[in-house]
Structure 1
Amino acid sequence: MQVQPYLFFEGRAEEALGFYREALGAEVTALMRFKDSPDPLPPGMVPPGAEGKVMHAEFRVGDATLMASDGRCSGQARFGGVSLSLSVPDEATADRLFAALAEGGQVQMPLGKTFFSPRFGVVADRFGVSWMVVAAAA
């Protein structure tokens, strides 16, 4: 059994995938657009003109596979009540990735030393996805 995050960007998935490619070195391993669906889409599933949006994508960040979609392309992505935890090997990597995720986003808890990590912080990226960045204890 496996649990994987599935993120709905409501029209900004392609932009988000590019951002994660740059910020985290993510690798997109699969991408299908609504127009590529082998079955006809139910009426009203996506607004007119959104046929080229991302129906389903898979991307890897380190050893983790995440999935993404533009969903119903409403423009109103919400990622409340959940954070993705990004565990990194050292403080320098934590600093670099936290700064990349914070660009255009909002720092919720600045990176700092905690009892469980030499570097821990929380940031919501420019898409509203919350990330907890934690460096391995020495």
Structure 2
Amino acid sequence: MIMLASPLIAMNGEAAEAIAFYEQALEAKVVFKQTFGEIPEPKEPISEEIQKRINHSVLKLGDAEMYVSDKLPGETHSVGNQVTVCLTVDTTEHAQRLFDALKQGGEVHQPLQPIFFSPAYGIVTDKFGVTFYVFTKRPA
């Protein structure tokens, strides 16, 4: 039985920058962050450059969690739609604030606008290549 499904965003050395960006853009709270250099008893020596990369992080977005980490050099990494995140908020103002922050340096695929199932819905890929669907619930 699945207890919790959380998006994991794998970066190629930009995880620390992405975490700082998501703290600002998504109002995320970092509840855990560990670099490769902080791993207890690594199996093999780690270069200074790799020690600075993020091994694992947990960000809280409301009641949800999102993980952001770096791949090790040589691990396969591709930028694009390998991960998409749907952000559901209660107000169009909140949706607009998140959307505006995420589009800085990114690309808007669908402007934030009313649509038949939402008063504010849009799709944006941020400057790290992660696509977000921003969605405002219709009042009950």
By the TM > 0.5 criterion, same fold?
yes
What per-residue deviation string (whole Å, max 9, x for no partner) do you get for residues 110-134 of structure 1? 1111110011000001111100001
For residues 73 and 62 of structure 2, the distance between their equivalents in structure 1, rounded to whole angstroms, comes to 28
Task: Please list every run of 5 or more consecutive structure 1 residues that lacks an aligned counterpart in the other structure.
Answer: none
Asked if the contact 1:56/1:67 (under 8 Å) is kept, the reply is yes
1:25 to partner: Cα distance: 1.1
Where does residue 118 of structure 1 map in the other structure?
119
Alignment-derived partner of residue 57 in structure 1 = 57
Is the contact made by 2:35 and 2:56 (CA closer than 8 Å) also made in structure 1?
yes
Counterpart contact for 1:77–1:127, Cα < 8 Å: no
5 Å-filtered alignment, 1:4-83, equals 4-42=6-44, 49-73=49-73, 77-83=78-84
- Whether the aligned pair in 1 keeps the contact of 2:8 and 2:83 (CA below 8 Å) is no
* Unaligned runs of at least 5 residues, structure 2: none
The 3-state SS of whatever aligns with 2:97 is helix
Q: Measure the CA separation in 2 of the matches of 1:112 and 1:101.
A: 15
Identical amino acids, percent of aligned pairs = 35
Residues 20-52 of structure 1, C-alpha deviation per residue, up to 9 Å, x if partnerless? 111111111011111111132457xx7662211
* Partners of 1:47 and 1:73 within 8 A in 2: no
Deviation of 1:81 after TM superposition, in Å, equals 4.4
Structure 2 SS opposite 1:39: coil
Report how far residue 88 of structure 1 moved. Answer: 0.7
TM-score scaled to structure 1, two decimals?
0.89
- Alignment of 1:96 with 2:97, yes or no, is yes
The alignment's TM-score, normalised by the length of structure 2, stands at 0.87
Alignment check: 8 A CA contact 2:113 2:119 kept: yes
Matched position secondary structure for 2:119: coil
Q: Residue 47 of structure 1 contacts residue 72 of structure 1 at CA under 8 Å; is this kept in 2? A: no
